[in-house]
Amino acid sequence: MPGKLLRSILIGLIVGGLLLAVMPSLRQWQLSPTTQYDSADESPASYNSAVRRAAPAVVNVYNRALNSTSHNQLTLGSGVIMDQRGYILTNKHVINDADQIIVALQDGRVFEALLVGSDTLTDLAVLKINASGGLPVIPINPKRVPHIGDVVLAIGNPYNLGQTITQGIISATGRIGLNPTGRQNFLQTDASINHGNSGGALVNSLGELMGINTLSFDKSNDGETPEGIGFAIPFQLATKIMDKLIRDGRVIRGYIGISGREIAPLHAQGGGIDQLQGIVVNDVAPEGPAAQAGIRANDVIISVNDKPAVSALETMDQVAEIRPGSEIPVVIMRDDKKTYAAYRRPGISCDQLTGSPPGERFSISKQWPGREFRQKPGHGQQRPQSGPRKLALPQFIIERHQRKLAVITQNSPLPEQPLGLLPRPGGITFPGQQMQQRLLQADAI
């Protein structure tokens, strides 16, 4: 009993000593002012640096069309300045039927743009402006490959609100079958792409161009409005098309002249064609390149121009890049035996086409039943006008350029110093008459 009492006394003395030792610091902590976290030396997570690099090169594109009833139609979209020469990439549906194309830069400058060329199959167009000063150019890294999960920013002029940045990720790559031609190899993103974003830039977190914003889902047949689903044309394809349009004014493509389908992986593992990859020929266009080379229905194309024919889309892109008149070797499988054929690659201009090259159709397995895609020519609503005809300037241009621009009417004298724009009724010139403000309603994304 005395031993237990002694141990209790010793434990009490030890605990008491510890409390006395820490009590001053506890009391100081209780009496001191509330400690505040000093974040002055830290910055919040931000994509501001990417925006500052890329946003100045994204422009507003306004398309003025004069219809048969002499009514102005004005639509809007976006564009991307690609180099110091003044070449701008945008979507073809943004500038369809344009009587005049106006480009507004973020630094306040406004130009009339020249249409260099357009390509129906990719819905791309190239514009050119003549600027005396330097131009902001979108950063491009040719070696950059977009990956699923990469953070991206969509830059454009939605609903004519002015330049707007939305953020998301790359949700998928290689989306095909989203338009009648099935040729684009779209990037899918959940960054918001709305009316007015067409032709704008999709950039990564470094501000580098990843794609040209082009498509978004419309309402489905049951009235549901999908969210977070937009599409952009990869910059690799867009720059190829741009170079061809600048060089030739059009895009000339080759074609094989077949209809076919890719061999599904499960199919390739059975039926006596283990691990075979290629394109099964369904039909051959009479007198087409494939027919002249001896290719028949039910042949399996193994390679084209010494490159494996794994994807119909990739194979067609490879053929399109080959110089017209070149003879191309083709390896096919017929009756379980490899056969070699060769055909001469003809050239065909997109201007001659309304769809894919004649005789060339590849089935697309990825479909979204009940969905419609918004990729239509953008036309603003017609606005009947009485009296002098005026160009309905978008609110953004009016606010940003009200000291620089004037609306020229049919009854107005032309100013002495046009700003490099077309000096005609309804055109924009410089300087000074009072402008009639008009809010633009857009139809193109």
Mean pLDDT of 379-403: 41
193 a known binding residue? no
Range among 26-35, 261-270, 382-391, 426-435 with highest mean pLDDT value:
261-270
Give the count of domains, the chain: 2
pLDDT digits (tens, 9 = 90+) for 140-164: 999 999 999 999 999 998 888 889 9
- Do the domain assignments include residue 213? yes
Q: Are residues 273 and 298 in the same domain?
A: yes
Q: Is residue 198 annotated as part of the catalytic site, yes or no?
A: yes
Residue 153 β-bridge partners: 167, 203
Say which range, 154-158, 235-239, 264-268, has the weakest mean pLDDT.
264-268
- Contact yes or no for 157/149 (Cβ under 8 A): no
- Do the domain assignments include residue 418? no
Where a domain ends, among 330, 346, 362?
346
Q: Is residue 93 annotated as part of the catalytic site, yes or no?
A: yes
Q: Which residue in the list 78, 118, 123, 216 is annotated as catalytic?
A: 123
Q: Are residues 222 and 308 in the same domain?
A: no
The CATH number given to whatever domain includes residue 209 is: 2.40.10.10
Closest CA to 94 of 374, 373, 406, 400: 374
pLDDT at 222: 63
Q: Which residue in the list 198, 216, 303, 356 is annotated as catalytic?
A: 198
257 a known binding residue? yes
Kindly state the DSSP code that residue 30 receives in the 8-state scheme.
H
Angle at 442 between CA 245 and CA 63, to 5 degrees: 40
pLDDT digits (tens, 9 = 90+) for 40-73: 567 788 999 999 999 999 999 998 776 655 556 6
- Do the domain assignments include residue 197? yes
Q: Are residues 308 and 336 in the same domain?
A: yes
Q: Predicted confidence band at 377 (pLDDT cuts at 50, 70, 90)?
A: very low
**DSSP string over 370-429:** T--EE-----PPP----SS------HHHHHHHTTT-EEPPTTSPPPSS--SS--STT-EE
More confident residue, 215 or 165: 165
- Do the domain assignments include residue 42? no
Q: Predicted confidence band at 251 (pLDDT cuts at 50, 70, 90)?
A: confident
Where a domain ends, among 203, 219, 248?
248
Q: What is the mean pLDDT of the chain?
A: 69
- Do the domain assignments include residue 443? no
pLDDT at 26: 52
pLDDT at 256: 73
Where a domain ends, among 218, 248, 278?
248
More confident residue, 312 or 395: 312
Q: Are residues 291 and 319 in the same domain?
A: yes
Mean pLDDT of 341-345: 56
- Do the domain assignments include residue 206? yes
Q: Predicted confidence band at 19 (pLDDT cuts at 50, 70, 90)?
A: low
Q: What is the residue range of 295's domain?
A: 255-346
pLDDT at 176: 67
- Do the domain assignments include residue 8? no
Q: Which residue in the list 93, 195, 379, 401 is annotated as catalytic?
A: 93
Q: Are residues 306 and 274 in the same domain?
A: yes
- Do the domain assignments include residue 226? yes
Question: For residues 219 and 364, what is the distance between their CA atoms, to the nearest angstrom?
Answer: 22
Q: Are residues 228 and 261 in the same domain?
A: no
Q: Are residues 217 and 286 in the same domain?
A: no
pLDDT at 409: 29
Q: Is residue 132 annotated as part of the catalytic site, yes or no?
A: no
pLDDT digits (tens, 9 = 90+) for 346-367: 554 443 333 333 333 333 223 3
Q: Residue 268: is its pLDDT beyond 70?
A: no
432 a known binding residue? no
Reported pTM? 0.63
Q: Are residues 267 and 337 in the same domain?
A: yes
pLDDT digits (tens, 9 = 90+) for 193-219: 888 889 999 999 999 999 999 877 665
Q: Residue 303: is its pLDDT beyond 80?
A: yes
256 a known binding residue? yes
% of the chain at pLDDT higher than 90: 25
Q: Are residues 205 and 171 in the same domain?
A: yes
Q: Predicted confidence band at 99 (pLDDT cuts at 50, 70, 90)?
A: confident
- Spatial neighbors of 204 by CB under 8 A, at least 6 apart, are 50, 144, 146, 150, 151, 152, 153, 210
Q: Are residues 214 and 261 in the same domain?
A: no
The CATH number given to whatever domain includes residue 338 is: 2.30.42.10
Q: Are residues 289 and 307 in the same domain?
A: yes
**What is the radius of gyration, based on Cα positions, of the chain?**
31
pLDDT at 25: 56
259 a known binding residue? yes
Q: Are residues 240 and 279 in the same domain?
A: no
Question: For residues 195 and 189, what is the distance between their CA atoms, to the nearest angstrom?
Answer: 16
